[in-house]
Amino acid sequence: MRLSGVVVAALLIPSLCAAQEGAQHVPLQADASASGWAVGATGYYYALDDQSDYFSAIATANRDALHLEARYNYEALDSGSLFAGWTFSGGDVLSWAFTPILGAVFGSMQGIAPGFEASAAYGMVDFYTEVEYVRDLNAQDDSFTYAWSELAVSPLAWLRAGIVGQRSRVHESDRDIQRGGFAQLTSGRFTLGMYVFNPDDSDDRFMIVSLGATF
């Protein structure tokens, strides 16, 4: 694992994993601007031992319940995707949000991707998950269900930590589901995060560093 690359990524990659009523892998948004839009961006630097390191990015824009999202290197390397969705939310003591999404994947993979993003928070504990099924238009056998989930606790306003799991084809592995732990440090509109997957398996251990911002 190339630690120098991780340090560079931590300093340069624009991303977000904010702690705010159930922080998310997909960036939570800053307060809406005068235009009514709230915008955020997320980047992840994958530091791997068994394949080349790579960068994945997510950007979102929300206005009221409308949710727009763009991703890069999420469904496949050298591919992008665009999504639109509508957010339903509620709760006071237990807050929740559910966003059905529909997207298109283009680049090295071409497909249609229905899915959803959901979160819930109770006190200092929160849960987030995002799931999408990509129907590959060129090779049906390559269709795949992607997922990312976090269960976290925020004992301090600037600290969020917990467990994480993902199902992806971008990172090549014998494991169907990658799992591990993470921690995030937040200051104002910026958040630095570190994820360690498969910490008990030296042959399949890898790390992700994120650094984020809202606008």
The pLDDT confidence band at residue 29, using thresholds 50, 70 and 90, is very low
Contact 199, 181 (CB under 8 A): yes
Contact 125, 153 (CB under 8 A): yes
Residue 172 has a pLDDT of 72
- In DSSP terms, which residues pair with 185 in a beta bridge? 159, 192
CATH superfamily of 3-166+173-214: monomeric porin ompg (2.40.160.40)
Q: Which of 28-42, 110-124, 137-151, 194-208 has the lowest mean pLDDT?
A: 28-42
Residue 126 has a pLDDT of 98
Residue 34 has pLDDT above 80, yes or no: no
Q: What is the mean pLDDT of residues 11-17?
A: 35
Averaged pLDDT of the chain: 86
Residue 186 has a pLDDT of 95
How far is Cα 97 from Cα 153, in angstroms, rounded to an integer? 18
Q: What is the mean pLDDT of residues 121-132?
A: 97
What percent of the chain is predicted at pLDDT more than 70? Answer: 84
Residue 19 has a pLDDT of 32
Residue 128 has pLDDT above 70, yes or no: yes
How far is CA 88 from each of CA 65, 95, 119, rounded to the nearest angstrom?
Answer: 7, 11, 11
The answer for 50, left when phi > 0, alpha when psi is -120 to 50, beta otherwise, is alpha
